[in-house]
A and B are shown apart, each in its own frame.
Chain A
């Protein structure tokens, strides 16, 4: 019996304890991060938990509490008054008070060099964003306990917290592109003295957001989702009547329903009368224009006639299919729902045709425009890197999508978007200059200008949407989108296209010839 017990004990020590020891090792080696890293599509670090310490003290152990409060406040940059108060108030044996949270190793060393008794350091983590301002509104932030409170930190909170130690969440953002877009948008905002500006770069086949910029930027208040914060992400949180860029949808619908021919002429000159209202154009237009010219020269009167051919019900259904009548479904939580008209009659159909009467977020608009040019298939915007073509159900016929690409190219070569052209990149696009709504109607001198660009238009890979809020040109006509947003889009494309590995038009045409 005794020998059997000795044998069992030997087996227990040599076999069972050995296994326990192995698991113990794994637990120690595992990194101490609590929240997964966030990296961009190329693996560039965007957010990481870094080891820091919370400093605690037992005031009872201090001989000279006033001096201890003075020294600790100076080193940890906390309030000396607060420390004096809590040292006096909590002066019993078991009192244990917080001096400072999340101090860096440097500060920890300085605290230790004070040589004070009764100090304790509790390991903690601090979320660090190495790229600083870049994409700050998209990334969001965490609270002191490490939980996301805004942006993707909030939207991906469960994914970030549940990830295995050392795991990374790979975003669709490309920080090189993000920086280039931010720089160009900022330069344009300064040049035109605009109140705000923004830009989105999206892959039209996957819905990936490659870059998203909203200026002014900065750290936003904790979960302050309202419109009061000037640093909010205007690309997702705000909704706008975007103006003539919306004509893309009026034309896509008309072509889809075969209600127009591109060479069909429409009366324009004196405006288009609907009920007691007359729709005029901002600039003088010819007496008659073909449908193609209406889009190229951005005629409101012409587009209103085209929109009315489809009718209110069909327009509503079509815009709904493009996702413009609901908030975009993306990982970022701050997405705004559109403002739709209460009564969707003929007048609303006409005005929505040229981008007034329906307010959508720039993200929702960009996603819908991408669906028009990507072969007509549904995509969802995403901030996570995708490895495959994510196009879903067919919404628009493929040949209509091809026609729309050609039309957008025509707008850039022969219409209002000439300043967006970039040699070698076959840019297509549409301008939008919307008067902003105010008390008693629209304010003529307050414009929201935008440009929706695709490149290369023969086989689009990327969509660039840029927006300027109240830009000021030297004269009013130079504040229009063709002179403000269009050149901005061109500059953005010229910078980012080589980064995205886009071939020139010549190479694309050569490949097409070889295929045929």
Chain B
């Protein structure tokens, strides 16, 4: 009886060793794969970090302004609000500006510097 029990125990140990080896090997492979993935993630994080910094540089207001002036012929808008949404007439309202004083515009829109834009405005009849 003891021999049979010992046999089963040894068999169990042997099977456990095999199972353990299999699990260990799978774990090792998974760790290798995980390390590769982690390195790839770290590399992507690093690349994203560099790209975000690069985007911060190319989207800097000074650069955008320079490009807008040189490529699009735009210039600083007269950043003066002449009215507000609250002054727009409501449906069925008899006094269209809510009896508020109408403020005369003191700012004039700048002329485009780029001659191509002036030419386009002439062609479109504006």
Residues of A within 8 A of B (CB): 2-3, 6, 10, 13-14, 17, 21, 25, 28-29, 31-33, 44-46, 48, 50-51, 128, 130-134, 175-176, 179-180, 183, 422-425, 494-499, 503-504, 506-507, 509-511
Q: Most A CB atoms within 10 A — which of B31, B49, B76?
A: B49
Nearest-Cβ distance from residue B35 to partner chain A, whole angstroms: 7
Q: Is the CB of A13 within 8 A of B23?
A: yes
- In this assembly, does B100 line the interface, its C-beta being within 8 Å of a C-beta of chain A? yes
In the complex, A398 Cα to B93 Cα: how many Å?
A: 38
Q: Is the CB of A130 within 8 A of B54?
A: yes
- In this assembly, does B109 line the interface, its C-beta being within 8 Å of a C-beta of chain A? no
- In this assembly, does B108 line the interface, its C-beta being within 8 Å of a C-beta of chain A? no
Main DSSP-derived SS at the A contact region: helix
Q: Is the CB of A50 within 8 A of B76?
A: no
In the complex, A24 Cα to B27 Cα: how many Å?
A: 14
Nearest residue (CB) in B for A514 is B86
Query: Which of B13, B23, B61, B81 contacts A504 (CB under 8 A)?
Result: B81
Interface residues of B in 11-57 (CB under 8 A from A): 13, 16, 20, 23-24, 27, 31, 34-35, 38-39, 41-42, 45-46, 49-50, 52-57
Q: Is the CB of B86 within 8 A of A507?
A: yes
Q: Is the CB of B38 within 8 A of A48?
A: no
- In this assembly, does B112 line the interface, its C-beta being within 8 Å of a C-beta of chain A? no
Q: Is the CB of A3 within 8 A of B9?
A: yes
- In this assembly, does B94 line the interface, its C-beta being within 8 Å of a C-beta of chain A? no
In the complex, A255 Cα to B52 Cα: how many Å?
A: 53
Nearest residue (CB) in B for A133 is B62
Residues of chain A within 8 A of B103, CB atoms compared: 423-424, 504, 506
Q: Is the CB of B84 within 8 A of A504?
A: yes
Nearest residue (CB) in A for B86 is A507
Residues of chain A within 8 A of B31, CB atoms compared: 21
Query: Which of B46, B84, B107 contacts A507 (CB under 8 A)?
Result: B84
Q: A6-B13, A497-B79 are in contact. Are A503 and B84 (CB under 8 A)?
A: yes
Q: Is the CB of B87 within 8 A of A48?
A: no
In the complex, A503 Cα to B81 Cα: how many Å?
A: 8
In the complex, A28 Cα to B16 Cα: how many Å?
A: 32
Q: Is the CB of B76 within 8 A of A495?
A: yes
Q: Is the CB of A494 within 8 A of B80?
A: yes
